[in-house]
A and B are shown apart, each in its own frame.
Chain A
């Protein structure tokens, strides 16, 4: 046990002192801070253009809308509308003096109605919703002239309401859950891959013999996976902390509530996510340990790791099916199958679709798989680490597993 702690401590120190770890962490932290500042950044860059809360002046100088423009509810669309007779120059002045953000002049030319949209942002388009409202109002005015009753008007200008009803009530936003699932996949994948690279580094630096005469291969594999896992966990916790602090500092309360509701972040969900991260990491870390111990040249790591990477990606895509189709036999399989459950189960938990018994079953299968994979990996690692020769075949690995 003392040796496992020593190996873990050494591996962890080596990992967090590496430039690539520090730089990656700083870059992701910066991206998180940037992400949470996105609304503020958009506001800074969209000053002068039309966004929520903008004042828009509508000038119906020819009275095309017959004084009914006030019927348009600007607030519903998030604008403050000002209806006033104004010339083009007057509107321009009003925009320059920031009295309004934009202006619309309604004109009729050859029986065609034109909206002249005046704004100081060259890239700006007239708000679509406002355009629709103006068109609808004009249509209504014309229909009214035909003397139709309100019911008749409604019949010829119907609005269809589409309502989606799912067989299961899904909590959370699937896009956000997909993003979290991708994050989980990358965290597990990158940490586990480092186990393989760490083992091959030891083999290529020929330090393995000194190491195996200092402690047991079992201690090395377990210590190494714990050390790298702790490094990954520290990185994830730093990123979560950055996200929490950024959310508190940069998001408005309304936006923060929206984010929390859409991610379904609760202490229980977060704990389960971390548990699945740890277990998923261990499963793939032991598989990568096995692949790492079969090669002796750094250039061969990639080739040896490819089957494991494909397995990881297959697991991830299975989990994506859970998000797209949260109910069904394939989904049940994905949440229990150990290669996909570390990504699929947290997603299903966040959707609010998992029962405690399903979670326990998924965890149990994952733990048993880790024990089996760890046993095989340690056995092969113990026999393969001093192999500096050619690449090993599956047959060699089976022999090594069977060897005493």
Chain B
């Protein structure tokens, strides 16, 4: 794929991924066929900033985990009042990384 397009993608979607994943994503995109470009452009990624705001506001209800697609963990959090508050506190630090990880998985699914 054209490196201009790839750089554009990295610029606009860089915040959705971990910094160490960006190089891999760049290489994958460069090696990708041009016909997939429209598909790549249309993927919707989850914003880590949104998930941390949700985590602060409704972390004890597990809404943040439901939002990024971890339904099982969300139920665990909901039923135990955010793991007696401790899990909700820990998740404030983990949720952004978890969201980026989910985005990366979504991107990888596109490759195959």
> A and B bound?
no
> Which residues of A pack against B, CB within 8 Å?
none
> Which residues of B pack against A, CB within 8 Å?
none
